[in-house]
Amino acid sequence: MLFDLVDGFGDRNAGIFLQAYRLHDTGAKLLNVALSRAREGIVVFANLTFLDQKLPTDAFLRGVLVEMQRTGQVLDVREILQLRPVADELGSLQSKVELDPEALRTGLFPGPDFDQLWREDLRAAKQSIVIFSGFITPDRVMQLVDVLQERIASGVRVRCVTRPPDRNGTIPESSGRSALLALESIGAVVDLRSEIHEKVVIVDGRVVWFGSLNPLSHTQRTSELMARVDDSEVATHLTGILSLRRRTSDQLAEGRFADAENPRCEKCGSLTVLIRGQYGPFFRCCEKCGWTCSLQNQHRARRR
């Protein structure tokens, strides 16, 4: 069971549920139910300094945290991350790239390290490359086109899932279009989703990159991080979460995760966008020619 509190830096006060101080306040009831369900253990990931600053002095949660610190064990989150040293996993890739020792110990890579390393992973791809990016810029795509094109020519399937030009943040629509066109012109599959926040790269259904950097739009100037895991089970699990429909493990093994999930517009042949509508998810023509199809009907059509 996961109880996720979305409070964070920049918030003026602790969230309304966290401020509860009487037992019958909704927030206190929520916490009570969540914590008392535990049978074997409770793990809390919390910024205790932040909460100490923001929680009202009589907050119910403050008492809970004090009690947990008294009877439980407080670990530095960096110690937990250090349980996953990645030096061995990087194997041959490591010799080609000079990496921050902290990154090697934790498996968390800042932008410049990620840039070098994932490129090596892309170069080593044998079956499939799947990239999820919250945004897309032509500059980033241009930096990747060569390596992707070379892989596609060797039979690797490449799929990029990102936003349509008219939902691509502050990036001009024309830039978004040219970035998508560049990907399509080298033979990559492009699936558009009106809302996408995942930042994930999966290579050969085994090497997974995930974190806070958008692989198809980030610049070197951010302080974001990416984690690398070399584990087919993690890749399969993540693939299941990210897929619109179930895929069998055989399909995953064949690199089918790189197959397009969006249909082409049946009227004008353009790319389509998946939109989470009021009456369920549906695909709409990216060129707004008027064609739409619900996800459900699309699935039925595929089965026929």
**Residues of this chain that bind Zn ion (CB under 5 A):** 265, 267-268, 270, 285, 287, 289, 291
Query: Which residue's CB is nearer to Zn ion, number 118 or number 291?
Result: 291
CB 194 within 8 A of CB 184: no
Alpha carbon distance 224, 214 (integer Å)? 9
Query: Which residue's CB is nearer to Zn ion, number 226 or number 265?
Result: 265
Please name the residue that has the structure tokens 């695909």: 283
Tell the smallest beta-carbon distance from residue 292 to Zn ion (Å): 10
Per-residue burial over 42-64, b = 16 or more CB atoms within 10 Å of its CB, e = otherwise? eeeeeeeeebeebbeeebbbbeb
CB 60 within 8 A of CB 23: yes
Residue 23 DSSP symbol: T
Write out the two tokens for 135: 């945004």
CB 267 within 8 A of CB 283: no
Alpha carbon distance 156, 255 (integer Å)? 9
Tell the smallest beta-carbon distance from residue 286 to Zn ion (Å): 7
Tell the smallest beta-carbon distance from residue 269 to Zn ion (Å): 7
Query: Which residue's CB is nearer to Zn ion, number 197 or number 267?
Result: 267
Q: Which helix (H) or strand (E) holds 303?
A: helix 295-303
Alpha carbon of residue 256 to chain centroid: 19
Query: Which residue's CB is nearer to Zn ion, number 84 or number 264?
Result: 264
Tell the smallest beta-carbon distance from residue 288 to Zn ion (Å): 7
Query: Which residue's CB is nearer to Zn ion, number 254 or number 266?
Result: 266
Query: Which residue's CB is nearer to Zn ion, number 20 or number 265?
Result: 265
Tell the smallest beta-carbon distance from residue 281 to Zn ion (Å): 18
Query: Which residue's CB is nearer to Zn ion, number 153 or number 301?
Result: 301
Alpha carbon distance 219, 46 (integer Å)? 29
CB 166 within 8 A of CB 173: yes
Residue 168 DSSP symbol: S
Query: Which residue's CB is nearer to Zn ion, number 240 or number 269?
Result: 269
Please name the residue that has the structure tokens 């008492």: 63
Tell the smallest beta-carbon distance from residue 293 to Zn ion (Å): 11
End-to-end CA distance of the chain: 38
Tell the smallest beta-carbon distance from residue 290 to Zn ion (Å): 7
Tell the smallest beta-carbon distance from residue 267 to Zn ion (Å): 4
Write out the two tokens for 275: 């939109």
